[in-house]
Amino acid sequence: MKRSETSDGHNDGHNHTKRSNTWVSYALLNSMKDKSIIVLKDELITIIKDKYPKSRHHLLVIPNKYSHLDSVEDLNANDVQLIDYMTAKAKQISQDLDPSIEFRFGFHTIPSQRPLHLHVISQDFDSKYLKTKKHYNSFTTRFFIDSKHVIENLKNTGKVDTIARQECEQLLKQDLICHFCRSKLLNMPNLRTHLLTHFPV
């Protein structure tokens, strides 16, 4: 596979060969500069509020100096420390928000935005922006990869095991199933009503 160099001419060991029609939006690069949505910023990462949150609490953790990383497929063993740090900060922020709420921390197998970003999302999925089956399934199926599994993969094999694109498409289109009780719901309005029985306001 092709390896590329960073702006200073250093070979970073990452694969930067892109799959066609995968990389949809560069908007996160601008969002990282929007002070109105920045929750935390340090030398390594920026944490922002998702502009279209899919849950009551939905944040994104973005590396500051890794714009060449687009998805988990670009990661290698050298990135364990980065992902570990991103996850630790995500957990810290979630505790600051509400320690009683269940959160998940992870990545979409095929992201809709670049660069690489870690989702910090509460499990209520109570949001006006959760409009489609794809929205819900992208966080509640194997399409969503927990960061702990990413770290384990990188430590063990130096890469992240991901599912094939065809299976990703199938997961996003599958029936709506409550991630809490596994009940099958007919449509999004039914799902939203059902989820409120598990996560009342």
Supply the residues annotated as catalytic.
Answer: 117
Q: What is the DSSP letter of 104?
A: E
Q: What is the DSSP letter of 56?
A: S
Q: Are 128 and 134 in contact (CB under 8 A)?
A: no
Q: What is the DSSP letter of 183?
A: -
* Among candidate residues 158, 157, 79, 153, the one with its CA nearest the CA of residue 115: 79
Q: Where are the beta strands (DSSP E) in 16-64?
A: 38-41, 45-49, 58-63
